Structure 1
């Protein structure tokens, strides 16, 4: 029998895995010069952080001691770093 808590935890786990995978894939396709130009951590640095986050979420899940920092790292990349690097790769205009 399926319980609501079990299904909710499964959905949360899959959502955080998808979030971390999206952040890692996006970090790997952005040019390395964009990170430096935006004044952010380097591309290998963000790649390592996000890869480690993905491994932690795969092995331990989002509700573990290291799961929350892993999710926060992916969110920081997507909310702060990605827009800065993406804006520079487009030439800095919003059009």
Structure 2
């Protein structure tokens, strides 16, 4: 793929990666708050609506806050490790 499209780089990440969840959350919020009930007569109008929403969203940025307790994260890690070790 990179030979035909040198600007593109393929990255394989687990679907449970926290940053992927944050991106999915952003798209869910965009859809719910701006796109779901909107009427767009062209792709240009849709593009303008998305850009306007992102500009307003980025004007007052909020940091991503991890809300899971450390014990929960460590427990999931230990269960995953045990599972992987049992497969070998």
Instruction: State TM-score, norm by structure 1.
Output: 0.26
Whose radius of gyration is greater, 1 or 2?
A: 2
- RCO greater where, 1 or 2, for CA within 8 Å and sep 6 or more? 1
Q: Which has the higher helix share?
A: 1
Instruction: State TM-score, norm by structure 2.
Output: 0.28
